[in-house]
Structures are given as structure tokens and as C-alpha cells.
């Protein structure tokens, strides 16, 4: 009997091609799109992801491929799990990564649950990553996609073994140009559709108006100071700044200044020279291990990525308090940012990861 797989179809070229690949492999393929139904109140227009146009694109591809198609209405879940988290993190002076939470809680949470209710064996997405089962250790392992430029393993580090057990990533073995070429050959109308942006539920290039609308009572101007506490200027509100930021400070001090610290309690932004943005040690909490921690030698140096487009750098990790780790880079890295994820790699294998809690000066 054919295995049933529900493909999370966003209306883009990757998920559309994923559905075709799985159908060719002999799966019983069902298409489904998340409808988050979100309207950006500040801008008066629908969100860029999972909007009506995307749903219609996905529906047309499903029709072309001859597969059933569903729309999963998940507006409340998206608001609670992703939007609220996004806003709360900025209020705390941290820089969130909503893609990771959307994957963990929405695609591989609510979406997976609804797919299983359709008696699916798996869900599949268009992520460029690979999952395989290691018989030796009895665990599913997450590995980088073959196309290193498009690798998305970083945003999947927080998934559980049970989530991996029900997941397929068909594009992990392919390169992006191959996917677009195949979509063109198939005549899929989305073959040249632009990719969505990182914060896909915000229309404009800046998230400031989005936060201004939602955080009216939480945004207060305050001082911009140097490390000695000298006031250099005034900031517009803690949520509008992130570690390493240079633009928008409106300071004329003869040399470029960067955000090197955010003090939420005092409502203060601390700035300094570029050299002061570099650090080598930080604390991680809420750690998720894909490879069991005890199987990693204590002295084992690993590669750590501190944001999606960070190339990764060699570091050591050690326990630090209850449920926390201390990560120490071999060489200082620019803009280690609380709120972002730190993901641990051994070659192409994701060992695990966690959330950056605090940077050690």
C-alpha cells in the first residue's frame, strides 16, 4: 500500500516541486497550505506568506499534478506561537528568529497534527536539508542540504525525534537551479516565482511600522550611551535596535558606531567601535540535542552557527548551570546576538542547538 504524504505547499517553486518529486517516487501525495489569515493592521494589506495569492498558486499546482488539496486554517495558532513571540522578544531587547518557531510550532506542529488526522504517514516540505535514520544509535539525524548555498538545516535544529520520524525533505539531495529547471520542464507556473523574505509576514523591508502598531505602550525613547555611560544621543525605542546595528543611530562622532549592548531594564542602547562588536563567549539555553549529548566527547570542537547566514566557526561547549551551555569560539565573532539560535555542527550533521541567552564580555 502506498505511503500517504501531505506536502506543505506554500505556492512557491520548492514545495511545488517537492509534491511532484514525491508523486514520481510512488507516494500517495496530498497538498495542503497553511492559511494564517493575517492582516497587517499597520499597512492594511495581507501578509506576504500564506496569503490568498499563495494559496491560489498552490491550488493550481495541485490541480496540475492531479493531487487532492486542502487549506489548513491556522490563524490563531500563528498569532499565538509566532507573532506574539516575535513582538515579545523585541520588547525584551532580543532579536527573534520567527522562521525557527514557525517550523517548530506551525509546520511541524499544528500542520503535522492536521496531516496525521488525514491518516498521513509523513509530511514533506521544500526545505533544503536531509534526514536519515542512524541504525547504530537508533536516532534520526539532521544533515545539511547538498546545495550548501541554500542549506536550511539551521532553522530546523529544534525539531524532535518524533517530528523527524514523520518528515520528508525531498529537495535535500538537489540544488536550487535543478529544482527551478525541473519546475520549468513540468510547466509549473511558479517556476520563476521569487523567494519569500526571512520575515515573511511583514510587507515592508523594515519591521518598524509593524512593531510600532503592535507595541504602542511598550516602546519608549531613551538614551544612547558609550561604555562609560556618556550620553551620545537618543534612541526611538528598544525594539528597533539589534546587536551590531550601525544604521539609524543618527550619531555623528567622527567614526562609525555600532550597537554593542541593549539594557532593557534601563531602556538604554550602548554603542561602541566595530572592534567592540566582536565577542567569543556566550550562554545558550533551551538546548535541543539531535545527537545525544553524552555521545559527544567533552573536548570535541564543533562548528557553531550564530545566525542563518553565518558560515559557522569552531567552538567548544561546556555545561553552565541548569539546562545551559557555555559556548566559546576559537576566534571572536561579530554580533553574537541574544534571541538568535546557536546551532552546533559536526561536519554536515546537526548535533543540536539552543537560543543565545547572554553574551559574556
Q: Which of 159, 60, 180 is nearest to 111 (CA)?
A: 159
Task: Give the 3-state secondary structure of residue 182.
Answer: helix
Q: Residues with Cβ < 8 Å from 22, sequence gap 6 or more?
A: 5, 7, 29, 124, 168, 170
HEC sequence for 31-90: EEEEECCCEECCCCEECCCCCHHHHHHHHHHHHHHCCCEEEEECHHHHHHHHHHHHHHHH
CA 122 to chain centre: 21
Terminal alpha carbon distance of the chain: 59
> Would residue 35 show up in a list of annotated catalytic residues for this protein?
no
Instruction: Supply 140's cell numbers.
Output: 534520526
Give CA angle at 214 (211, 218), nearest 5°: 80
The partner residues of 223 in beta bridges, in order of sequence, read 234
Catalytic residue, from 49, 50, 87, 200: name it.
200
Which ranges constitute the DSSP H helices of 126-175?
161-165
Task: Give the 3-state secondary structure of residue 156.
Answer: helix
> Would residue 102 show up in a list of annotated catalytic residues for this protein?
yes
The partner residues of 289 in beta bridges, in order of sequence, read 352
How far is Cα 134 from Cα 201, in angstroms, rounded to an integer?
Answer: 36
Instruction: Supply 44's cell numbers.
Output: 492594511
- Rg, the chain, Cα only: 22
Catalytic residue, from 49, 50, 99, 102: name it.
102
Query: Which residues are part of the catalytic machinery?
Result: 102, 200
Amino acid at each position: 500500500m502506498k505511503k500517504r504524504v501531505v506536502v506543505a505547499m506554500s505556492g512557491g517553486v520548492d514545495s511545488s516541486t517537492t509534491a511532484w518529486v514525491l508523486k514520481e517516487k510512488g507516494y500517495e501525495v496530498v497538498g495542503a497550505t497553511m492559511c494564517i489569515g493575517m492582516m497587517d493592521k499597520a499597512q492594511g494589506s495581507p501578509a506576504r506568506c500564506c496569503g490568498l495569492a499563495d494559496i491560489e498558486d498552490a491550488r493550481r499546482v495541485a490541480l496540475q499534478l492531479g493531487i487532492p488539496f486542502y487549506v489548513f486554517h491556522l490563524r490563531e495558532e500563528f498569532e499565538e506561537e509566532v507573532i506574539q513571540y516575535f513582538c515579545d522578544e523585541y520588547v525584551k531587547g532580543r532579536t527573534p528568529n520567527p522562521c525557527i518557531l514557525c517550523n517548530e510550532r506551525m509546520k511541524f506542529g499544528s500542520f503535522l497534527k492536521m496531516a496525521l488526522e488525514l491518516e498521513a504517514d509523513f509530511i514533506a516540505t521544500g526545505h533544503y536539508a536531509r534526514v536519515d535514520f542512524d541504525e547504530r544509535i537508533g536516532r534520526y539525524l539532521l544533515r545539511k542540504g547538498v546545495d550548501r548555498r541554500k542549506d536550511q538545516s539551521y532553522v530546523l535544529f529544534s525539531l524532535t525525534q518524533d517530528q523527524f520520524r514523520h518528515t520528508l525533505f525531498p529537495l535535500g539531495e538537489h540544488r536550487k537551479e535543478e529544482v527551478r529547471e525541473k519546475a520549468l520542464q513540468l510547466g509549473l507556473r511558479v517556476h520563476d516565482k521569487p523567494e519569500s523574505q526571512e520575515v515573511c509576514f511583514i510587507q515592508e523591508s523594515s519591521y518598524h511600522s509593524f512593531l510600532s502598531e503592535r507595541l504602542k505602550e511598550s516602546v519608549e525613547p531613551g538614551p544612547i550611551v558609550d561604555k562609560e555611560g556618556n550620553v551620545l544621543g537618543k534612541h526611538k525605542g528598544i525594539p528597533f535596535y539589534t546587536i551590531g546595528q550601525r544604521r539609524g543611530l543618527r550619531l555623528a562622532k567622527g567614526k562609525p558606531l555600532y550597537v554593542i549592548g541593549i539594557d532593557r531594564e534601563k531602556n538604554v542602547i550602548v554603542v561602541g567601535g566595530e572592534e567592540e562588536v566582536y565577542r567569543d563567549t556566550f550562554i545558550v539555553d533551551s538546548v535541543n540535542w539531535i545527537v545525544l549529548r553524552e555521545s559527544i566527547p567533552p573536548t570535541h570542537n564543533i562548528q557553531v552557527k550564530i545566525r542563518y547566514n553565518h558560515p559557522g566557526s569552531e567552538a567548544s561547549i561546556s555545561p553552565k548551570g541548569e539546562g545551559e551551555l557555555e559556548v566559546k569560539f576559537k576566534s571572536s565573532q561579530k554580533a553574537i546576538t541574544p534571541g538568535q539560535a546557536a546551532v552546533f555542527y559536526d561536519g554536515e550533521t546537526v548535533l543540536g542547538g539552543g537560543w543565545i541567552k547572554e553574551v559574556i564580555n
